[in-house]
Amino acid sequence: MYVAVKGGEAAIANAHALLADRRRGDRSVPALRLDQIVEQLALGVDRVMSEGSLYDRELAALAIVQARGDMIEAIFLVRAYRTTLPRFGYTRAIDTGAMLVERRVSATYKDLPGGQLLGPTFDYTHRLLDPELAAGGEVAEPLQRASDADAMPRVSAILAREGLIEPDGDMPQDHIPGDITREPLEFPMARDIRLQALSRGDEGFLLALGYSTQRGYARNHPFVGEVRIGEVELELDVPELPFAVPLGSARVTECQMVNQFKGSTKAPPQFTRGYGLVFGQSERKAMAMALCDRALRATEFGEDVVAAAQDEEFVISHSDNVQATGFVEHLKLPHYVDFQAELDLVRRMRAEHDARENAGKAEEKREAAE
Amino acid sequence: MTDEPLLRVSALSKFYGSRIGCENVSFDLWPGEVLAVVGESGSGKTTLLNCLSTRLLPSSGTASYRMRDGQFRELYRMSEAERRFLMRTDWGFVHQNPADGLRMTVSAGANVGERLMAVGDRHYGKIRATAVDWLSRVEIDEDRIDDEPRAFSGGMRQRLQIARNLVTGPRLVFMDEPTGGLDVSVQARLLDLLRGLVTDLGLAAIVVTHDLAVARLLSQRMMVMKDGRVVESGLTDRVLDDPRAPYTQLLVSSILQV
Amino acid sequence: MTAQPTDIATYNFAYLDEQTKRMIRRAILKGIAIPGYQVPFASREMPMPYGWGTGGVQVTASIIGPEDVLKVIDQGADDTTNAVSIRAFFKKVANVAVTTDTAKATIIQTRHRIPEHPLTAGQVLVYQVPIPEPLRFLEPRETETRKMHALEEYGLMHVKLYEDIARHGRIATTYAYPVKVEGRYVMDPSPTPKFDNPKMHRSPALQLFGAGREKRIYALPPFTDVVSLDFEDHPFEVQTFDQPCALCAAENVYLDEVILDDHGGHMFVCSDTDHCEKRREQGHRGHLAPETPPALEKREPAQ
């Protein structure tokens, strides 16, 4: 006796109850508070803000808890919330030259105005597991000095003074920066759109592509002109007011990659740029983004497009991890209607194949008999 | 021959920035006539071919093509749709590297049939029969019809590319070093085949080559190019036997007489 | 958790904000004006994953009103988990009436099937589309496929069908079978079995297609010509089944194969669960139907 499967709704509700249970885990262990996550898993929070493209630490922390620490799921939660928010307006372009810098390193100059600032970095830590952290020991207060009154000039500005590097990317005078969350993507795209897509692109994907350029798949001879991390002011123009209204500040990581360029018939030899900018603190992502940005400018410089990292449709169409995870994981949805259609076809074709084989054998036998 | 040319080219120039691709090229091409464009690499012959076949737009000058209705149309004023239609019906383009002109992952039959389907043929049996016919005309065995060109030798691929181009009965075929990259013996066979087809079908063709032997075998008329300009043109036999421009004399004398 | 929920995140009625709905409606209208043409739209992240019906959900969310009655099917069935989930979503965010009855629904969102019960004027069928571009697997580049559509260069599509016949003796495409719309655009009907293609032709219902991840919307206004591509000597034909539905004895419907045991035992039943139940209610009996009519428990409160 066959009874069709039913009760999808109850199954889903039960599955979600189990999920909630597993998320909470052992009840004798205190539940995580959002402020603990914001304070102590800050780089995870930064990644969720950056790829979720929503600057809100508390929401990112909530998403991380809700996703049980699955970062792509957390990014997805934030995106699905962000997309419903109305737009009040667009801030002025941030000025990273006026950043309140906590970390700034340059690989191209030993010393430079503003100096090299290591800041809170994993660099030069020995990757030895630290049992004291597990014991929850006291942490000493770090040394801090008052910031210099002068802002730190960007390395690209220093190079630009001599004309050694191409100017900052310029868009036509009347160009209004695009918004990939409000307008459909169309290829080929302008660099502002591309940079937006890269900035919210998957860290792992961009890392792998950036790495591939270093290993010779579209090598572009990069130097880290500068990586800087710190707070930038956000300002909004309000039509009724004669001045820009400060909205607060955001922590960002910026990477200016300096790349060789041999010049063309149109332009003298000069360095070119790859640019990376992400919310929060993530040098890895900003640097990978800068490598990809430069690789994607191949056609602009008349370079041959030979590698994946230079292929705009390939990179941008596949960089979004929320899209990627959805489509990969949708394969577990039922496909039995399609599968039935294929099954039917394969059965028919096999039957025809067997019939032909048998006919052939019969023919052979008859010939042999004759 | 009719009393009007098939293609009229007037003062065609193509510049890449300040560099000359080709400059001030003018000629008429008559129905059924094969014109060879000869020169060393960098002479501008490929730029000229790409402009004529509308794969590139020239910087200045005009080219008019006599359509099947007898009307001349200015090539560079056509819409992209019209040009692409022309490309897959009344014209052919034979690339030096067959992989550029073939679909390497579909069968030989489909490669030949594609242009027919593109212009609306919808009868599988007839399309296949036409493909079989064309494969035999380019000396490819019928039992290779369902093989992919990947499994073909260089000479076979080139012959398949030719069949794919000729199946819609074009009146004008562009060829870019059609025998380049092939062994000498394979070249000779391909040239024989091409010469036969061009004569049988009354095709007009513009053949770009650096090989004077190819020009001699295929063309009635030739143009010699150097640094983007035409330095000499005339009947092929006359140019090769009695070259007038010093550069042509140099070219001809540098070829071993066979 | 014992903690009180906070108001740190709230959502708009029917999830999408009104600006977004207007943007999507504009894309739908454009799609209706140019049947079969893929209209790019700024697809939003939805609270279900890309590939799980976000395009269909956005279309439905943009056109649904308080008077609408919604039916959601996946693989023809109302009770597959993803259909249940999407139906629950709209109950939650829009508080609309839902039904499993094809005839009573004003909007039907579907994945992979068209209901067996003929659709009528005034109904809207919303398809969830994973890959809207029928040329995608022949030409991966968006820039190139858009040009091919613009110039109506569809020779390649027939090359694919030619190859099928050359290799298999028949057209081996069984689902997502390409169609030509109003003699102009070649369109992917979404991964419905080709069995359903004839139902699209001149349907009195409005058919809308949403591809969220690929950010495209396209449409078939009522009574649009939808012709499956084929060759004159290899005409388009739909799947046929050797036996009727084992539960309701329906013929000429699409059947799912159900494995009964691990000795190769299987049966074929209607993929359209609503259609099957309706027939059984009317007394039709297949050879494997239960002795007494099944307790047709109301599967979902239709509000």
B194, B79: one domain? yes
Closest-CA residue of chain C to B108 = C163
Give the other-Cβ count within 10 Å of A56's Cβ. Answer: 18
Q: Which one of C196, C225, C254 terminates a domain? A: C225
CA distance A227 to A237: 29
A79 contacts on C by Cβ (under 8 Å): 45
- Any chains having at least 3 CB pairs less than 8 A from chain A are B, C
Local confidence band at C102 (pLDDT 50, 70, 90 cut-offs): very high
Q: Is residue C3 scored above 70 in pLDDT?
A: no
Domain assignment present for residue C11? The answer is no
| B112-159 per-position pLDDT tens digit | 999 999 989 999 999 999 999 999 999 999 999 999 999 999 999 999
CA distance B49 to A349: 48
A265 contacts on B by Cβ (under 8 Å): 16-19
C45, C175: one domain? yes
The segment with the largest mean pLDDT, out of C23-32, C139-148, C160-169, C249-258, is: C23-32
Asked if the C-beta of A266 comes within 8 angstroms of chain B's C-beta atoms, the answer is yes
Q: What pLDDT is recorded for position C220?
A: 98
Closest CA to B12 of B40, B53, B42: B53
Q: How many CA atoms lie within 13 A of A343 on its CB side?
A: 12
Domain assignment present for residue C246? The answer is yes
Its domain, for residue B136, covers 102-169
Structure tokens at A57: 């630490």
Domain assignment present for residue B112? The answer is yes
Q: What is the DSSP string of A267-305?
A: S-S-BEEEEEEEESS-HHHHHHHHHHHHHHTTGGGT---
Domain assignment present for residue C10? The answer is no
Is the CB of B146 less than 8 angstroms away from the CB of C234? no
Q: Which one of A288, A309, A326 terminates a domain? A: A326
- Span C131-157, average pLDDT: 90
C265, C174: one domain? no
B56, B109: one domain? no
Domain assignment present for residue C264? The answer is yes
Q: What pLDDT is recorded for position C228?
A: 97
Q: How far is CA A296 from CA A165, A275, A289, B162, C233, in A?
A: 18, 11, 10, 36, 48
A112, A244: one domain? yes
Domain assignment present for residue A366? The answer is no
Its domain, for residue A159, covers 96-122+149-326
CA distance A158 to A137: 44
Q: Which one of A82, A104, A138 terminates a domain? A: A82
Closest-CA residue of chain C to B144 = C166
Residue B125 contacts residue B183 (beta carbons within 8 Å):
no
A349 contacts on C by Cβ (under 8 Å): 168-170, 172
Domain assignment present for residue C148? The answer is yes
Q: What pLDDT is recorded for position C29?
A: 98
Domain assignment present for residue B97? The answer is no
CA C163 to chain A, closest CA, distance in angstroms equals 15
CB pairs under 8 A between B and C: 54
B7, B78: one domain? yes
C178, C277: one domain? no
Asked if the C-beta of B117 comes within 8 angstroms of chain C's C-beta atoms, the answer is yes
Cis-peptide into A188, omega within 30 deg: yes
Q: What pLDDT is recorded for position A266?
A: 63
Domain assignment present for residue A87? The answer is no
C202, C286: one domain? no
Domain assignment present for residue B96? The answer is no
CATH of the domain at B242: 3.40.50.300
Is the CB of B19 less than 8 angstroms away from the CB of A265? yes
- Strand duo C69-74 + C97-98: pairing: parallel
Tell me the ipTM for this assembly.
0.87
Q: Which one of B112, B144, B169 terminates a domain? A: B169
Local confidence band at B182 (pLDDT 50, 70, 90 cut-offs): confident
Asked if the C-beta of A126 comes within 8 angstroms of chain B's C-beta atoms, the answer is no
**What is the model's pTM?**
0.83
B47, B131: one domain? no
CA A264 to chain B, closest CA, distance in angstroms equals 11
Q: Is residue B209 scored above 70 in pLDDT?
A: yes
- Any chains having at least 3 CB pairs less than 8 A from chain B are A, C
HEC states along A327-364? HHHHHHCCCHHHHHHHHHHHHHHHHHHHHHHHHHHHHH
A27, A154: one domain? no
C24, C155: one domain? yes
The 3-state DSSP class for residue C101 equals coil
CA C47 to chain A, closest CA, distance in angstroms equals 5
Q: What pLDDT is recorded for position A6?
A: 57
| C182-236 per-position pLDDT tens digit | 999 999 999 999 999 999 999 999 999 999 999 999 999 999 999 999 999 999 9
B60, B184: one domain? yes
A110, A70: one domain? no
Domain assignment present for residue A370? The answer is no
Local confidence band at C108 (pLDDT 50, 70, 90 cut-offs): very high
Domain assignment present for residue B237? The answer is yes
B51, B110: one domain? no
CA distance B88 to B92: 7
CA B226 to chain A, closest CA, distance in angstroms equals 21
Catalytically annotated residues of C: 36, 245, 248, 270, 276
Q: Which one of A82, A104, A131 terminates a domain? A: A82
C286, C208: one domain? no
B58, B152: one domain? no
C43 contacts on A by Cβ (under 8 Å): 184
Domain assignment present for residue A199? The answer is yes
Residue C110 contacts residue C125 (beta carbons within 8 Å):
yes
Give the other-Cβ count within 10 Å of C258's Cβ. Answer: 17
In sequence order, what E strands does chain C have?
Answer: 39-40, 69-74, 97-98, 107-111, 124-128, 179-181, 185-187, 206-211, 216-220, 226-228, 255-259, 266-270
Is the CB of A58 less than 8 angstroms away from the CB of C130? no
- Span B179-188, average pLDDT: 86
Q: Is residue C263 scored above 90 in pLDDT?
A: no
Domain assignment present for residue A350? The answer is no
CA distance C257 to A323: 32
Domain assignment present for residue C259? The answer is yes
CA distance C103 to A357: 49
Chain B 13-72, CB below 8 Å of chain A: which residues? Answer: 16-19
CA A288 to chain B, closest CA, distance in angstroms equals 34
C143 contacts on A by Cβ (under 8 Å): 187-188, 313
A159, A64: one domain? no
Domain assignment present for residue A348? The answer is no
Domain assignment present for residue C97? The answer is yes
- When mean pLDDT is compared across A148-152, B210-214, C155-159, C264-268, the lowest value belongs to A148-152
B142, B37: one domain? no
Domain assignment present for residue B85? The answer is yes
Is the CB of C81 less than 8 angstroms away from the CB of A6? no
B25 beta partners: B12
Q: How large a percentage of chain C has pLDDT more than 70? A: 92
Closest-CA residue of chain A to C238 = A341
Q: Which one of C182, C198, C225 terminates a domain? A: C225
Q: Which one of C202, C225, C248 terminates a domain? A: C225
Scan for tokens 């906070």, then name that residue: C6
Is the CB of C254 less than 8 angstroms away from the CB of A337? yes
Closest-CA residue of chain C to A341 = C174
Q: What pLDDT is recorded for position C222?
A: 98
Domain tally for chain A? 2
Closest CA to A190 of A203, A202, A174: A174
Q: Mutation target for C interface from B124, B126, B147: give the one with most C CBs within 10 A.
A: B124
CA distance C89 to C212: 17
CA distance A70 to A48: 10
B63, B43: one domain? yes
C114, C151: one domain? yes
Q: What pLDDT is recorded for position A264?
A: 64
Structure tokens at B156: 């076979």
Its domain, for residue C246, covers 240-292
C160, C204: one domain? yes
Q: How far is CA C221 from CA A73, A95, C37, in A?
A: 37, 50, 12
Is the CB of B19 less than 8 angstroms away from the CB of A266? no
Q: Is the dihedral of CA C248, C249, C252, C256 positive or negative?
A: positive
A218, A292: one domain? yes
- Tell me phi and psi for residue C131, to 5 degrees: -130, 105
B137, B241: one domain? no
Chain B 123-142, CB below 8 Å of chain C: which residues? Answer: 123-125, 127-128
Q: Mutation target for C interface from A315, A333, A348: give the one with most C CBs within 10 A.
A: A333
C151, C218: one domain? yes
C38, C128: one domain? yes
Domain assignment present for residue A202? The answer is yes
B123, B32: one domain? no
Q: Is residue C298 scored above 70 in pLDDT?
A: no
Asked if the C-beta of C254 comes within 8 angstroms of chain A's C-beta atoms, the answer is yes
| A84 Cβ contact partners less than 8 Å away, ≥ 6 residues apart | C11, C12, C15, C16, C17, C20, C44
A304, A189: one domain? yes
Is the CB of A343 less than 8 angstroms away from the CB of C12? no
Q: Is the dihedral of CA C65, C68, C72, C76 positive or negative?
A: negative
C106, C170: one domain? yes
Domain assignment present for residue C298? The answer is no
* Sites in chain A below the pLDDT cut of 50: 1-5
Chain A 24-83, CB below 8 Å of chain C: which residues? Answer: 24, 31, 58-59, 62, 76, 79-83
C51 contacts on A by Cβ (under 8 Å): 326-330, 333
Closest CA to C249 of C220, C281, C289: C289
Scan for tokens 């030619």, then name that residue: C162
A77, A153: one domain? no
Q: What pLDDT is recorded for position A101?
A: 92
Domain tally for chain C? 2
B185, B81: one domain? yes
C87, C114: one domain? yes
CA B202 to chain C, closest CA, distance in angstroms equals 27
| B29-85 per-position pLDDT tens digit | 999 999 999 998 889 999 999 999 999 999 999 999 999 999 999 999 999 889 988
Give the other-Cβ count within 10 Å of C199's Cβ. Answer: 21
| C68-86 per-position pLDDT tens digit | 999 999 999 998 888 999 9
Q: Mutation target for B interface from C135, C151, C156, C162: give the one with most B CBs within 10 A.
A: C162
Domain tally for chain B? 2
The 3-state DSSP class for residue A144 equals coil
Residue B206 contacts residue B35 (beta carbons within 8 Å):
yes
CA B78 to chain A, closest CA, distance in angstroms equals 24
Q: How many helices (H) and strands (E) does chain A have?
A: 13, 4
Asked if the C-beta of A187 comes within 8 angstroms of chain C's C-beta atoms, the answer is yes
Domain assignment present for residue B95? The answer is no
A67, A185: one domain? no
Q: Which amino acid is at C212?
A: G
Domain assignment present for residue A88? The answer is no
Q: Which one of B122, B154, B169 terminates a domain? A: B169
Q: Is the dihedral of CA B213, B219, B222, B224 positive or negative?
A: negative
